[in-house]
Amino acid sequence: MNLRNFCVLILLSLFAIGCTNASKAFKKGQYDDAINRCIQILQKEPTNQKYLEILRDAYRIADANDKERILTLKGSGQPDIWGSTITIYERMIARNRRIDALPSSAKNEIEFVFYSHSNELTEAKRKATEYHYAEGIRRLNFGTRTEARQAFTQFERVVVYSGIDYRDVRNLMARAEELGTTFVLFRVVNNSPTYLPHEAVWHLINIQPQVLNKRWVKYDTDSIRPNYHFDVVFSLDRTILFPPAVNTRNFTETRTITDGTEFQTDSRGNPVQDSAGNFIRIPRNITLKCVVTEVTQSVQARLDGTMTYFDVETQRFLRSIPLSRTFTAHSSSFRTDGDLRALSDQTRKRITAPVMPLPAPDQMLVWAAQDMTEMIRETLSANSNLMR
């Protein structure tokens, strides 16, 4: 079989498969799928009778089904039918446009007449807008957070159908969002009997609300609203500064190096000569050793506290969670005994680095507060389901 015949065979096979797929889709009642498959072929072969027949039948059934569904919806008397009606009209319009893009000969063969449905779609969007607008106001008037959130969703549909400038929907959405949002006040109370630097307190409060905020839940760290739904308090119960601890360890490093040369000797210890009578010299290897003493000082600061959740509306305590965080700082110094050439590059860098002094107590408390803030943020996130 030559290449040309082979290519023809492949094209015929693909045609047969395509035709079969369109027929299968039609028989399964997947009329839009059948229409799309036919359109793909008819754009290249507008006179293909098999696909023209499938397209004609599939279009007539699909169009009739959509029109019947619209009549059923309108006849139901239900006020919330317009979203479904819009979806059907948009599907009909898209279908008609795809078919209208076919060559005129193909459209004539199936007796296709383009109809835009634009007036029907406009009317459906107008009625859908009126319904969702009224439903949003109705839910908003209940005055509860749950209903306000539902109202916001209704106003979002208004925006989809008629834009953000429809009547006063922009203001209504803002009102629904304000009423539907759960506001949480986070506070820090210092009940520790010991001193805590102002900077440490600032870190404890700085929970970065913008990171914790989510849809319908907002955190404040200052009381800027007249009322809050939840009060979350971190009580710092105890602050501990531990005395420095000292740890000493010794380790030894060795290295073999070449230090000049020496005469090569035989088994009797006599110098060995080469064929020219010259004494043979070989590298002299020596092993160096250095003992390093590392003295490490450690100091710790610990903060202990309790996170309490309180529902302001029901006046109930919801949860109490103990939190504790310890911050540790180290400072190391070194002594050496031996040949420094025995040390590795890494060890040499460590022992020659400037000795960093231990932080002052106030700085230790600030760093411990920074670590505690991260724990507070994680706890708030993990328990966000309490605030609804």
Asked if 383 contacts 311 with a C-beta cutoff of 8 angstroms, the reply is: no
Distances (CA, A) of 372 to 65, 207, 248, 333: 64, 10, 30, 29
* C-alpha span between 225 and 215 (Å, rounded): 19
For the question of whether the overall pTM of this predicted structure is more than 0.75, the answer is no
pLDDT in the model for residue 218? 96
* Max Cα–Cα distance, the chain, nearest Å: 123
* C-alpha span between 52 and 175 (Å, rounded): 55
pLDDT in the model for residue 13? 42
pLDDT in the model for residue 19? 52
pLDDT in the model for residue 339? 93
CA torsion sign for 189, 194, 197, 200 is negative
The closest alpha carbon to 23, from 12, 39, 34, belongs to: 34
pLDDT in the model for residue 226? 92
**Burial profile 364-386: b = 16 or more Cβ within 10 angstroms, e = fewer:** bbbbbbbebbebbbebbeeeeee
Kindly give, in sequence order, each residue whose CB lies less than 8 Å from that of residue 10, ignoring residues fewer than 6 positions away.
none
pLDDT in the model for residue 280? 82
Q: Which residues of the chain have pLDDT under 70?
A: 1-20
77: left (phi over 0), alpha (psi -120 to 50) or beta: left
Percentage of the chain exceeding pLDDT 70:
95
pLDDT in the model for residue 17? 44
pLDDT in the model for residue 342? 93
pLDDT in the model for residue 388? 83
pLDDT tens digits, one per residue of 339-359: 999 999 999 999 999 988 999
Strand partners, 334: 294
Q: What's the distance, CA 100 to chain centroid?
A: 43
Other Cβ atoms closer than 10 A to 215: 10
Asked if 128 contacts 82 with a C-beta cutoff of 8 angstroms, the reply is: yes
pLDDT in the model for residue 11? 44
3-state SS of 68-120 is HHHHHHHHCCCCCCHHHHHHHHHHHHHHHHHHHCCCHHHHHHCCCCCCCCHHH
pLDDT tens digits, one per residue of 126-173: 999 999 999 999 999 999 999 999 999 999 999 999 999 999 999 999
